[in-house]
Amino acid sequence: MTDSQVPMRHEVDEKFTWNSNSVFPSAAHWQAEYINIEKTLAEIQKIQGKLGVGPVEMYDGLQEIFEFKQRMEQCFVYAQLGLSVDTMDQVAAARVNQALGLYGQVQASIAFVGPEIINIGQEKLDQWLKMDPRLAVFSHYFDDLFRNQAHVRSAEVEQLLGSLEDTFSGPRLTFSMITDSDFKFPPAITDSGRKLEFTQGTVGEIMGSEDRLARQTTWENRGDVYLAFKNTLASNLSTSLKQNVYKMRVRGYESSLSMALHEDYVPAKVFDNLIKVFRENLPIWHKYWSVRRRALNLDDLHPYDIWAPLSSERQVVSYQQAVEWICEALAPLGGEYVAVMRKGCLEERWVDVYPNQGKRSGAFSWGVQGTHPFIVMNYTNDVLSLGTLAHELGHSMHSYLSWKSQPAVYADYSLFVAEVASNFHQAMLRAYLLEQNPGAALEIAIIEEAMANFHRYFLVMPTLARFELETHRRLERGAGLTADGMIDLLADLFSEGYGEEMNLDRRRVGISWAYFGHLYTDYYVYQYATGISGAHALAERVLSRQKNAESDYLNFLKAGGSAYPLDALKIAGVDLSRPEPIEETYATLSKLVDRLEFLTAE
């Protein structure tokens, strides 16, 4: 794909762009709401000191605060999505900076809530719950506050921490602006000698092509640009990690990992189980690399061969076809579920579909209660894009049902459960497509999509989790982080997963920590692996027609943040405090490798 084939943002057909007007009719309306929120800050701060007056004041105050917070979040979504689809838009960048500043002001203005409720005391709150039944909606919220009591600081300190949100968002925004907007990559070279321009949004398409030289030069040129800025990128990520360590110490946790796990009420054994099972199952990956090398008829395998197609018959899947297949695959969840999803994709413009110049790499689903659950992606008419769309729609349907079913206080679900719904969609889609007797070429493509997803979730993300743990530990004990040290660390970790079959490009593999904005949300990456494990366990319940499997799953989606993550998953029928779901999902991975070996041998 050449640069000229990747349109500028203004050249994209509006029907394939996210429906920004559904959030605010225009940028002017956004600006007016921004000003109104600023004016309302003073009114919100007047609630301070009144929550303890009585149950009526408590209920009214909390309702007002959560509604106000929702307004701020809608402003933030509009600004951030506008920048995500065109990182070269300076007006959008300025709007994001405004929104970040507003976010910090709002967080500071409501920081008194936790300390004030804790000062009231559990005993008095229990009495108030009996006096005013309306307060019952906040029962889980109160329980979580008192669970965190030891780590909640005074109102003044909480206000300071809230006001730092804007400043602390700097490294993440800097990462996006550098890598999505400022980076310009030298062209790749095809087997025929043609120069091939590429952007962050089209890297995946080239890496999935048959042209090996194009894959190699794309991989190398992309890596070399990141390596040229290794010190800046390392300093930026190190700053983000230091911020997390700072918050850990202010809140009195023994480690940054314990702080992250405590937030979701997840025991340490969940993280430990994942890393243990991951390392025990590395031989599955070693076998897969061997199967892939032989299928590609290569003497040696390189990282740029990971996504090379194993069949010469390219499977073209239009966006419209993808939507229909996904809807058919999710039919077991009911007609209403499917109708909402189809309408979101084809009428309400939930999805910003195709690549354009300046669009950020990858894909994500995002929104807040009161907006659509939007998706930003780079659809390229292939099976991998089909899987990505299914994945992001899983997130979006989770959000849709959570927002529809829960009050504002529980509208958002935990990151720990976020990757379950997305991978559930992919598991259901693969099962549906394979049942259609697709033929060898399409079956190989479907398994390749599965392997690409497993590669990300069951190799890359656990490896990044180990990297993240070690970099945090170094900072916690006072050691410094350098670009070369971080590159060597990640190269060593990836060498375990690649084994002897992969010709490891240590520098370019080692810098790949700089590809992942996920690392700016501390201890997010391990949850990809636990999420895919929970997803496959729940999909198996539905596919094997276990009693109440569909309703249990839908009730899990509707639960939002009204229950602790592990408890919410138990509603659906899986216990991620145990290693068995992870082990069983690795068994599924092993079967896919065996089937691929058989198909490619034929």
Q: What is the CATH number of the domain that holds 506?
A: 1.10.1370.20
For 364, list phi and psi in degrees, rounded to 5.
-160, 160
Q: Count the neighbouring beta carbons within 10 Å of the beta carbon of residue 436.
A: 12
The answer to whether position 372 is within a domain reads no
Q: Are 363 and 394 in contact (CB under 8 A)?
A: no
Angle between helices 268-280 and 282-295 (to 10 degrees): 40
CB neighbour list of residue 283: distance below 8 Å, 6 or more residues apart: none
- Of the residues 115, 142, 168, which one is the last residue of a structural domain? 168
Token pair, residue 308, equals 């090379």
The answer to whether position 597 is within a domain reads yes
Q: Are residues 159 and 58 in the same domain?
A: yes
Q: Are residues 133 and 265 in the same domain?
A: no
The C-alpha atoms of residue 586 and residue 599 are separated, in whole angstroms, by 20
Q: Which of 586, 591, 301 is nearest to 458 (CA)?
A: 586
What is the β-pairing status of strands 188-189 and 195-196?
antiparallel
The answer to whether position 580 is within a domain reads yes
Token pair, residue 548, equals 């109440």
The C-alpha atoms of residue 195 and residue 501 are separated, in whole angstroms, by 30
The answer to whether position 10 is within a domain reads yes
Q: Are residues 8 and 152 in the same domain?
A: yes
The C-alpha atoms of residue 462 and residue 484 are separated, in whole angstroms, by 21
Residue 135 identity: L
Q: Are residues 439 and 543 in the same domain?
A: yes
Token pair, residue 139, equals 């029962």
Q: Count the neighbouring beta carbons within 10 Å of the beta carbon of residue 543.
A: 16
The C-alpha atoms of residue 71 and residue 39 are separated, in whole angstroms, by 13
The answer to whether position 388 is within a domain reads no
Q: Are 536 and 315 in contact (CB under 8 A)?
A: no
The C-alpha atoms of residue 38 and residue 30 are separated, in whole angstroms, by 12
Segments forming the whole domain that contains residue 81:
3-168
The C-alpha atoms of residue 575 and residue 258 are separated, in whole angstroms, by 20
The C-alpha atoms of residue 360 and residue 376 are separated, in whole angstroms, by 9
Q: Are residues 135 and 276 in the same domain?
A: no
Q: Are residues 289 and 162 in the same domain?
A: no
Q: Which of 142, 133, 113, 111 is nearest to 56 (CA)?
A: 133
Q: Are residues 158 and 297 in the same domain?
A: no
Q: Are residues 118 and 263 in the same domain?
A: no
- Three-state DSSP string of 246-289: HHHHHHCCCCHHHHHHHHCCCCHHHHHHHHHHHHHCHHHHHHHH
Token pair, residue 128, equals 């108030």
Q: What does the pLDDT read at residue 3?
A: 41
Q: What does the pLDDT read at residue 1?
A: 43
The answer to whether position 228 is within a domain reads no
Q: Which residues are tagged catalytic?
A: 392
Q: Are residues 292 and 157 in the same domain?
A: no
Q: Are 159 and 108 in contact (CB under 8 A)?
A: yes
The C-alpha atoms of residue 312 and residue 25 are separated, in whole angstroms, by 47
- Of the residues 112, 144, 168, which one is the last residue of a structural domain? 168
What is the β-pairing status of strands 374-376 and 195-196?
unpaired
Q: Which helix (H) or strand (E) holds 71?
A: helix 55-84
The answer to whether position 186 is within a domain reads no
* Segments of the chain with pLDDT less than 70: 1-4, 602
DSSP label of 301: B
The C-alpha atoms of residue 2 and residue 239 are separated, in whole angstroms, by 36
What is the β-pairing status of strands 364-366 and 188-189?
unpaired
Q: Are residues 115 and 262 in the same domain?
A: no
Q: Are 359 and 9 in contact (CB under 8 A)?
A: yes
The answer to whether position 360 is within a domain reads no
The C-alpha atoms of residue 503 and residue 60 are separated, in whole angstroms, by 63
Q: Are residues 275 and 153 in the same domain?
A: no
- Mean pLDDT (the chain) is 93
pTM of the full structure:
0.87
Query: Residue 152 sits in a domain of what CATH number?
Result: 1.20.140.70
Specify the number of domains making up the chain: 2
Q: Are residues 164 and 260 in the same domain?
A: no
- Of the residues 125, 153, 168, which one is the last residue of a structural domain? 168
The C-alpha atoms of residue 79 and residue 95 are separated, in whole angstroms, by 6
SS3 label, residue 183: coil
DSSP label of 487: H
